[in-house]
Amino acid sequence: MNGWGILADYSHNCSITLNRVDDCSRDGIGLRDSSQNNITLNEVTHSNMCGIRLGNSHRCILEQNLVGHIFADGISIEASANCVVSG
């Protein structure tokens, strides 16, 4: 896969659920300038950057995601407030 697996910019109250993202040249799942999103039950593997990256994305919930074989960070939360990561 070229680029991001899933990229959501300026997104609010969305769910990214039950996806398999593999072999990305960028982040597997990326949220930028977003809020109150749920990232749940995803499998992200073999990304050249981060598995899941939040940038300026507030009050997001990351639950029960499988992240593995990532070149950089598995999960990166940058400039984001009140986020929950569990399971």
Is the pTM above the cut of 0.75?
yes
Return the structure tokens found at 2: 């070229």
Give the span between the Cα atoms of 66 and 79, in whole angstroms.
Answer: 23
Q: Give per-residue pLDDT as tens, 31-62.
A: 999 999 999 999 999 999 999 999 999 999 99
Give the span between the Cα atoms of 75 and 55, in whole angstroms.
Answer: 11
Give the span between the Cα atoms of 24 and 12, in whole angstroms.
Answer: 24
> Whose structure tokens read 């769910």?
15
Return the structure tokens found at 25: 């040249």
Mean pLDDT confidence for 63-82: 97
End-to-end CA distance of the chain: 27
